[in-house]
Amino acid sequence: MNEDDKLGFAHLIEKELNSNDKILKPDFNQKTGRELLAFYLQSKFKQVIAYDSKAEIPIFRDIKYDFIQKFSRRLIQNPQKRIMIGITGESASGKSTICNQIRNVILKFNMPVTILTADNYFNDISDLIAKYGSFDALRDNGYDVDSPDSFQLDVLTEDLEKISKGEDIYSPEYLINGTGISVPKAKFVPSNKVIVVEGMATMYGKNKDIYDVKLYVETDLDIRHDRFINRACTERNQDLENAKKHWEYILGAGEKYVKPYRSEADIILNGDSDLDYFSQVLEYIHTITNNFEG
């Protein structure tokens, strides 16, 4: 990352905090107060986008033209509702990394945040793995692991609806030990004010309609390839030949099942952006939305 980019947002944060030109804190219980906040957010967020566009590696690759207005209107109309953020993208694009960075920044400011991983909603395929001997053999015999049919989408949809309304849930847990076992209702997931859902199945089916913010993480192919092979060999104990074979599978699956949701996204994020820079962008957004007088 260009050092000027990093220093730039740090400078903007300091300038914002020390500014004498602050607006009075609106009464968010009143519609007029929320409308003032929405107008303020729109103008400030446009400044963020303009500043980021000048960075050496911008974090924002694209933003839907009406997103800021729609999100602001949603805050005005239903301020009590959980803020649902969906993150998707092809394999090894950096979804989990960006999700964790968002979580870390939100926690830094003592804001309650929930992370829900859609990968835990894989179907239980333990019988199939027992039949074919291994996950790789199952894949080689035509099992389409990234297909929407390979996920418990009805369960995911039900859980998303509950958690968006303030209900705590217990999600499944898919074991990544090669057994293909999915344990139902295994992980406690609290319903906090901000809920971030990540994974390739995040927007499958009707689920895409539940999010207030839809993010698509996009990364150059060579970077994704290197990440995927390294992760497969070092973290998942795959041999190189199987890792390469599975890479060829996910390329086709991503093109078929995940990439179509790029057009649904409100924001396209650069999965190769510097994480420190990304954190500063998030911190600046937090600062401008919480830095009022009175």
Do 50 and 125 sit in the same domain of this protein?
no
CATH number of the domain residue 212 falls in: 3.40.50.300
Do 208 and 150 sit in the same domain of this protein?
yes
**Both tokens assigned to 245:** 């074979």
Do 117 and 150 sit in the same domain of this protein?
yes
On the CB side of 250, how many CA atoms lie within 13 Å of its CA?
19
Do 111 and 170 sit in the same domain of this protein?
yes
No. of H helices and E strands in the chain? 10, 8
Note whether 115 and 103 are within 8 A (CB). yes
147 occurs within a structural domain: yes
Do 139 and 243 sit in the same domain of this protein?
yes
Which domain covers residue 254, as residue numbers?
A: 76-272
115 occurs within a structural domain: yes
Residue-by-residue pLDDT tens, the chain, 294 positions: 455 555 566 777 777 667 666 666 667 677 777 777 777 778 878 888 888 888 888 999 999 988 988 887 887 778 778 989 999 999 999 998 998 888 888 888 887 889 999 999 999 999 999 999 998 899 999 999 999 999 999 999 999 999 999 999 999 999 988 899 999 999 999 999 889 999 999 999 889 999 999 999 999 999 999 999 998 888 877 889 889 999 999 999 999 999 999 999 999 999 988 888 888 888 887 777 665 555
23 occurs within a structural domain: yes
Do 92 and 43 sit in the same domain of this protein?
no
SS3 294: coil
Entry pTM: 0.87
Do 114 and 253 sit in the same domain of this protein?
yes
Which pairs from 207-211 meet CB under 8 Å and 24+ separation?
Answer: 207/86, 207/153, 207/156, 207/157, 207/160, 208/86, 208/261, 208/264, 210/84, 210/86, 210/157, 210/160, 210/161, 210/164, 211/84, 211/85, 211/86
Tell me which amino acid residue 119 is: D
53 occurs within a structural domain: yes
Do 245 and 288 sit in the same domain of this protein?
no
Do 147 and 42 sit in the same domain of this protein?
no
How far apart are the C-alpha atoms of 214 and 268, rounded to whole Å?
A: 9
Do 117 and 46 sit in the same domain of this protein?
no
